[in-house]
Amino acid sequence: MKLYHIDAFTDEPFKGNPAAVCWVEAPLTDAYMQQLAAEMNLSETAFVTKTNNGFSLRWFTPAREVPLCGHATMASAFVLFETGKVDKKETITFHTLSGPLHVQYKSSGALIMDFPSQKPQKNNQVNLRTYEDILGCTVAEVLDVPNECLLVIKNAEDLRSLNPPSDVLSKWAENGVMMTAWEDKNGVDFVSRYFAPNLGIKEDPVTGFMHTILTPYWAEKKGKNHFSAYQASQRGGHMQLNLVNDRVHIEGKAIKVYHTDVPVINV
């Protein structure tokens, strides 16, 4: 089995979000995929298989399988385009737990992913002070998404400097806690961060799926559909976002760090 280490949402190695991409030619057990993901210890390991009408794509964190992952989708598409498994003039269709996902290659070298959008719902039952006491900054809103919590931080600089305790965040959502703030400077509209200790991820470097939620949120707040976003993790990552009806187009670049052959061990 071929395994590729790809950095997504960047054109520089060791920036953006690293993902492992496994090109699967023979069936693998779920147990094997989960154990390999734990061994890789990256936020996601992707498993890609050719099908009659596209490609099957599954994503595993070190702790469990997840229904949607942006950066590992970008990494998987990058591998298919760069290895010639798909012509760069064609559109890739991935069949996933979140339905069909489409990825196109641009002449600039960027990739455009077509994902379903999801609008968060404001939670009026929570006490903002509870969150502010833990984080030490002003929280403008708390919103709910299935299995996730979204905090809107008033000041972008506060968001950039946060170091929240994982044991507390693990109680705020089943999967993870998204945080975002409007910035509107240096070519960036808004910034974000994502913490998912329950998925085995203290902080995800760059989170594609989160922006399918943040894009419709900020579109409603700011009255526009195109954004330049930056995820302010230690590695950091940039992306361009377009809200098109009920879909979000996420544009970014990727780069290969290495690839290798991996023996398949029955587990």
- CA 8 to CA 43: how far, in whole Å? 12
157 among known catalytic residues = no
Render the burial of 168-201: b for 16+ CB within 10 Å, e for the rest.
ebbebbebbbbbbbbbeeeebbbbbbbbbbbbeb
HEC sequence for the chain:
CEEEEEEECCCCCCCCEEEEEEEECCCCCHHHHHHHHHHHCCCCEEEEEEECCEEEEEEECCCCEECCCHHHHHHHHHHHHHCCCCCCCCCEEEEECCEEEEEEECCCCCEEEEEECCCCEECCCCCHHHHHHHHCCCEEEEEEECCEEEEEECCHHHHHHCCCCHHHHCCCCCCEEEEEEEEEECCEEEEEEEEEHHHCEEEECCCCCCHHHHHHHHHHHHCCCEEEEEECCCCCEEEEEEEECCEEEEEECEEEEEEEECCCCCC
Measured CA to CA, the distance from residue 109 to residue 90 in angstroms comes to 14
Q: Catalytic residue among 44, 141, 183, 203, which?
A: 44
**Which residues form the catalytic set?**
44
